[in-house]
């Protein structure tokens, strides 16, 4: 049956209608379809059934077959009024099939508060050409309920409060015009619930407080033009949930406080428009949620307070578009934002996560990781391959940056060094100079570890020869002065060198290999030990009084100490000025 018509015309004649399965109807309904330009482009024939016949079938408890029939003004509310039945009393319907039927009503095609017996209920391929369609409060027994390939021309549907037994609810390939689609407070049984490839156009699509049991929920390739999509308070059981390639249009998408159960949730390649995307307070017992290659528009994206401690969530290659993104105080097992492009502020102050993957990301604005009113409980942070054009607000101590990077399992030493370098440059840009020093030291240490590891892998003479420069750098650059980041460490090293050289001069003298002699005698009565440390001091600091001079092997040590003194004082000057100028 055609679905692209703008209008239609009904003609009822007294010609007998014979269906393909042999059912007959005393009259025939001729439906003529007109396109948007008012031109006739198709005609369909249906059996014109009387309402009283349908009501009698219901009253007598018989199965109803309306396949290929035309039904006008059907209403269980009118049925209740006719038989003096309470408004919300369930009307037993033994069985109904309305495949490829044609319904119309001035106000509403009303199946509200019907109690359908076990077995399949099918409206597959049916057109609801005029008026709202209501199944409010109805109860379906065990069996499949099929609304696939249906057309709701009015666009207003009410299934609120409906209960389904075991079986599949199929709403695939349906076309629903602009209007309110109300699926609130539904209780689905175990089985597949499928809205795959359905077009909902504009309006409100409501699944508030709906219960989905075990099975499968399929929203794949569904298209929504705009309005509101609301799953607020919905609950899923052990259910596979698929929103893959769903187009939400410019709708306000609301998944607040949804319990996603323990199944697998797929939003891969889904397209969100410029409306708000809200998953605040959503929870999941275990499993995976994937937003890989999803696209989001200019509205805010709220993923705050999500409770998914045992869940892996992935936004790999997701395009977040314009607008802020927030994961404030959420809990995940792992969260991946790998290869994403952050153009606007993103709040990653996550309450708990074993891993936050920011590898290969491009940051153009602000990434906020710095704790404020609660601890940020991220165990491992992967920033390998990040292109940092904006800034990361993070604290070396409170965020435990050393642990965040050093505990990575899937990165090598070179990649860890590069991440510490990123932090070093970032701390410099935001004015956290002490944190910059911490990050710089770890960058140089991991860089050195990476270099020596690479040399060791080469083996042979290259491996052995590499230990000499590596040891020198380890001692002079790292241990003596923390890569010129700590003037205090340099001063401490000065004292250590002075003490060591003084002790060497003392041992040299008592062993007879050399000595420190006084050019003016010994008017102060200095001991050999005191004179050794005095000579060490004036040599280390290059004072050059000349009252004590070396002899023998001590000359060699004096020359070496003089060099070390000049070097260490220069080292201290560099470290001190670096601190002062910042």
CATH number of the structural domain spanning residue 516: 1.10.287.70
- Of 254, 285, 306, the position where a domain reaches its end is 254
**pLDDT tens for residues 505-526?**
888 888 888 877 777 766 566 7
User: How many domains, the chain?
Assistant: 3
Q: Tell which of 254, 276, 297 closes a domain.
A: 254
pLDDT per residue over 404-434, tens digit each? 999 999 999 999 999 999 999 999 999 999 9
Query: In the Cβ-directed half-sphere of 390, how many Cα atoms lie within 13 Å?
Result: 17
* Average pLDDT of the chain, as a whole number: 92
Q: What percent of the chain has pLDDT over 70?
A: 99
Beta strands in 450-571 (DSSP E): 514-518, 548-552
Asked whether residue 154 carries a pLDDT value surpassing 80, the answer given is yes
Q: Give tens-digit pLDDT for 300-313.
A: 999 999 999 999 99
Packing angle, helices 460-473 and 433-458, rounded to 10: 160
Residues 18, 111, single domain; the answer is: no
Check whether residue 87 and residue 193 sit in a common domain: yes
Q: For 103-133, what is each residue's pLDDT tens digit? A: 999 999 999 999 999 999 999 999 999 999 9
**Structural domain span for residue 564:** 487-581
**How does pLDDT run across 254-284, given as a tens digit for each residue?**
999 999 998 899 999 999 999 999 999 999 9
User: For position 396, what pLDDT does the model report?
Assistant: 95
- Do 188 and 117 share a domain, yes or no? yes
- For residue 387, pLDDT over 80 is answered with yes
**Residue 167, domain member (yes or no):** yes
Q: What is the pLDDT of residue 572?
A: 86
The reply to whether 379 falls in a domain is no
Residues 30 and 71 placed together within one structural domain of the fold: no
Mean pLDDT to the nearest integer, 545-554: 81
Of 254, 288, 316, the position where a domain reaches its end is: 254
Q: Across 341-355, 476-490, 511-525, which has the greatest mean pLDDT?
A: 341-355
Residue 385 lies in a domain: no
Please determine, for residue 463, whether its predicted confidence score (pLDDT) is greater than 90: no
Q: How confident is the model at residue 90 (pLDDT cuts 50, 70, 90)?
A: very high
* pLDDT of 544 above 80: no
Find all residues with CB under 8 Å of 309, minimum gap 6, and list them: 331, 332, 333, 352
Please say if the pLDDT value at position 243 is more than 80.
yes
Looking at residue 523, its pLDDT comes to: 58
* DSSP class per residue in 288-325: EEE-TT-B--SS-EE-TT-EEEEEEEE-TT-B--SS-E
Do the domain assignments include residue 400? no
Tokens matching residue 48: 């014109």
Same domain, 16 and 93: no
On the 0-12 / 13-18 / 19+ scale of CB atoms within 10 A, 529 is: middle
């Amino acid at each position: 049956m055609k679905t692209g018509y703008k209008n239609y015309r009904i003609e009822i004649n007294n010609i007998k209608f014979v269906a393909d399965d042999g059912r007959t109807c005393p009259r025939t309904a001729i439906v003529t379809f007109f396109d948007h330009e008012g031109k006739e482009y198709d005609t369909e024939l249906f059996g014109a059934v009387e309402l009283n016949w349908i009501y009698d079938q219901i009253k007598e408890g018989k199965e109803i077959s309306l396949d290929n029939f035309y039904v006008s003004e059907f209403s269980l509310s009118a049925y209740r009024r006719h038989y003096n039945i309470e408004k919300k009393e369930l009307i037993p319907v033994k069985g109904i099939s309305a495949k490829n039927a044609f319904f119309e009503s001035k106000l509403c095609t009303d199946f509200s508060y019907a109690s359908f017996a076990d077995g399949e209920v099918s409206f597959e391929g049916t057109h609801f050409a005029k008026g709202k369609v209501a199944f409010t409060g109805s109860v379906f027994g065990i069996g499949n309920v099929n609304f696939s390939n249906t057309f709701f021309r009015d666009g207003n549907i009410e299934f609120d409060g409906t209960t389904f037994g075991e079986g599949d609810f199929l709403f695939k390939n349906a076309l629903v015009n602009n209007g309110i689609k109300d699926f609130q407070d539904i209780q689905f049984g175990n089985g597949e619930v499928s809205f795959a490839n359905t077009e909902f156009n504009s309006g409100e699509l409501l699944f508030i407080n709906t219960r989905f049991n075990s099975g499968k929920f399929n929203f794949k390739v569904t298209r929504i033009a705009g309005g509101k999509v609301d799953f607020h308070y919905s609950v899923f059981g052990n259910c596979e949930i698929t929103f893959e390639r769903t187009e939400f249009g410019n709708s306000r998408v609301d998944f607040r406080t949804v319990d996603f159960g323990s199944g697998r949730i797929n939003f891969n390649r889904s397209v969100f428009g410029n409306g708000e995307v809200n998953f605040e307070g959503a929870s999941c017992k275990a499993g995976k949620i994937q937003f890989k290659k999803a696209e989001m528009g200019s509205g805010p994206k709220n993923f705050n307070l999500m409770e998914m401690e045992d869940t892996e969530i992935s936004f790999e290659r997701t395009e977040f578009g314009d607008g802020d993104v927030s994961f404030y105080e959420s809990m995940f097992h792992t969260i991946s934002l790998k290869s994403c492009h952050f153009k606007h502020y993103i709040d990653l102050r996550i309450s708990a996560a074993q891993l936050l993957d920011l590898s290969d990301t491009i940051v153009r604005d602000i990434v906020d990781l710095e704790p404020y009113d609660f601890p940020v409980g991220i165990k491992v942070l992967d920033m390998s391959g990040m292109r940092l054009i904006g800034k990361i607000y993070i604290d070396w101590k409170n965020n435990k940056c050393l642990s965040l990077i050093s505990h990575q399992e899937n990165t090598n030493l070179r990649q860890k060094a590069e991440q510490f370098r990123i932090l070093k440059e970032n701390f410099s840009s935001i004015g956290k100079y002490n944190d910059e020093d911490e990050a710089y030291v770890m960058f140089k240490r991991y860089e050195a570890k990476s270099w020596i590891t690479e040399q060791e892998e080469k083996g042979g003479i290259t491996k052995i020869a590499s230990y000499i420069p590596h040891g020198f750098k380890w001692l002079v650059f790292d241990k003596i002065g923390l890569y010129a980041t700590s003037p205090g460490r340099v001063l401490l090293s000065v004292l250590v060198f002075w003490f060591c050289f003084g002790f060497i001069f003392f041992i040299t003298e008592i062993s007879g290999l050399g000595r420190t002699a006084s050019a003016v005698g010994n008017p102060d009565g200095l001991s050999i030990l005191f004179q050794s440390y005095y000579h060490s001091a004036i040599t280390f600091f290059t004072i050059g009084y000349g009252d004590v001079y070396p002899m023998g092997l001590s000359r060699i040590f004096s020359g070496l100490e003089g060099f070390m003194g000049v070097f260490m004082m220069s080292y201290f000057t560099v470290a001190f000025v670096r601190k002062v100028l910042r």
